[in-house]
Amino acid sequence: MAAWIVERRKAADLKPADIAQRLGVSEPTVRGWETGRGVSADNVAALERLFGVAAPDQPEPADMSALVAALDRQASAINELVSRLDGLASQAIRDGIREALAEAGVDQGGGASRAAPPAGR
């Protein structure tokens, strides 16, 4: 796309500032297009109208399925980490409750411990 824009601009004897003005975008935006930054579909259509020729077809990424698979693997790994962290947090909460109960003299069975009566009684 970038090469096409530069080629068509030069063939029309235009400067990036001319294109920017005609399309209602900034000159840095046009320069970005000419160096490979993405061009929206609306701007491609505007460039086609300006130059009077169709833009070349843009190929889809060659290995899109591999990219999707990699993203799926990363999402699964993130979900596994979240699950582990949730489990660790739950365990830490349970441990904290057990510690608090022990400090209060409550045994694991839920009854009051005979060895350590609750403070203040």
Per-residue pLDDT of the chain (121 residues; tens, 9 = 90+): 899 999 999 999 999 999 999 999 999 999 999 998 889 889 999 999 999 999 988 655 556 677 777 888 888 888 888 888 788 778 888 888 888 888 887 776 655 444 555 555 4
Architecture in CATH for domain 2-51: Orthogonal Bundle (1.10)
DSSP code, position 107 = -
Residue 38 has a pLDDT of: 85
pLDDT at res. 117: 52
Model pLDDT, residue 68: 78
- pLDDT at position 93 is 85
User: Is-contact 118 104, C-beta < 8 A?
Assistant: yes
Contact 2, 36 (CB under 8 A): yes
Tell if the pTM clears 0.85, that is, is over it. no
Give the list of residues 6+ apart from residue 25 with CB closer than 8 angstroms, or none.
43
Measured CA to CA, the distance from residue 21 to residue 53 in angstroms comes to: 19
Report the SS3 class of residue 112. strand
The C-alpha atoms of residue 59 and residue 117 are separated, in whole angstroms, by 76
Q: What is the largest CA-CA distance in the chain?
A: 96
